[in-house]
Structure 1
Amino acid sequence: MNKKQQIIFRSSIITNIFLVIIIIWGFINTNFVKEQLIFEQVQHNLVELEGLITHQKKYNWSEPNLVTTEVRDILNGIYIGVSTGKYLKTISSSDIRTLENLASILRQYPHDELYEFSTLTTEDKQNFEELQIKLREVGLGLRITISKDWDSFMDQIKTLEENLSTLQNK
């Protein structure tokens, strides 16, 4: 090879390495965004829901709309997380199904709509208290170490979904 070809060859190698680094960086950032979105919008809100139900139970359901608003926030978080994951193609169809099943179950609980608060019956309060127990059982509660591992979180959601399905079939 003459000197000109060597320069072109070396610059081509450097350019290709640079492009591979950019692609890897983009992939890592895309997965990070997906996971952070789900962790912040769903996992964090499920932990908050458990804490709010505990608080309401302790204070005789003095502000039940805190709980119903949190359920709405979780449903919105699932929708945003699943939509983003589908768009970025970073979430598996199995995980989408799991999150959508959880949303379907949570929609059966009273939740606030835009400009409209839900009214809770005694049965609704009991159902929320059972939900609080199930959240703690799967490790989604206040003063419990929360994992930021995607597979671990999805396992928690699957177990929660199964536990809640058995409650609703009673």
Structure 2
Amino acid sequence: MPATASSARQVSVSALRFGRLAAMGALAALILFAGVWGSWGTAQHVMLVKGREQGTVRVTSCSGDMCSGPFTPTSVGARARARVEIAQPVAVRKGRTYDVVLKPGTADAVRSGPAGTLYAWLPLGGALLLASVVVAGGMRLTRAAWVLAGCGVALLTGAFLAVSAGS
């Protein structure tokens, strides 16, 4: 009889371990999916520029979390506009000119180029850091956690350096 109790305990411990790994894996996947989802809303405009209006904007005024200025087109089919807005002006300074892509059907501009691409993926960088904690603590996969954390730090640092150098 003692062998049966011991094997039943081993089965329950294995089931609990599998449950923990499955739950933490699902949580880490959900965090990463949310990071991609949060980034894609802006990243799609920066990365998939075919058919979108591309150009430059010279920032003439900033108030609150919006900056604006005239849009000068650089792509075929784009038209000049007297005023476009850049939301969340990270490292945007009055009097400077920035490469932008306009969101279709709006006067909302998104920074393009390496700085705009990296800035658009910032939510994914944060998600990578958060998922690394879940993977390390909940799944006990320290190497995978270090890889996730390293990718997140590299993305955040690259975005900071690219946006800072471009302003």
TM-score range, shorter chain: 0.3 to 0.5
Select the structure with the greater relative contact order (CA < 8 A; seq sep ≥ 6). 1
TM-score (norm 2): 0.43
State the TM-score, normalizing by the size of structure 1: 0.42
From the two aligned structures, give the one with the greater strand fraction.
Answer: 2
